[in-house]
Amino acid sequence: MRSRARTRILTLAGTVALATLTAAPAAHAAASGCTHNWSGPQVCIETTGESGSTYPGTITATWTNPSASRNSATVYITNWAAGTHTMTAKRHGDEITASWTPEGNPFMAGELCARFKGSSAKACVDLINR
């Protein structure tokens, strides 16, 4: 009798867990990439778009630990198909950051990269495989 009750409880728990998984909304596959210069300035790019889509959603570029005299910088966002787009980033604490949500989708599969004017570092993410 104890074995039957345990089997029923485990079956019920498994059914509830499976129902929870199938009822969950589709997850967004946000992506991010950073340079790995731990001793100096670091550049990062982050997207909020869904996996398998070339639409990046909101694109955020961050420059961590730029020189203290910089309060803003131009950010170049590049993709081989869409060319280069520019954003103006502003200082927030120890970072210079800019965000952009493109209208439509000018991008194609491949790398989406961010580079700040005044820095040679470039951070990239792959738009499809995230």
**8 A C-beta contact, residue 87 and residue 105:** no
> What pLDDT, on a 0 to 100 scale, did the predictor assign at position 13?
43
Q: Report pLDDT for 53.
A: 82
Answer yes or no: is pLDDT of 60 > 90. yes
Torsion of CA 43, 49, 53, 54, to 10 degrees: -40
Q: What is the pLDDT at residue 5?
A: 52
Q: How confident is the model at residue 18, as a pLDDT?
A: 39
pLDDT in tens, 15-38: 444 343 333 333 344 678 888 766
Name the average pLDDT for the chain.
78
pLDDT above 80 (res 77) = yes
Of the ranges 54-58, 87-91, 115-119, the best mean pLDDT one: 87-91
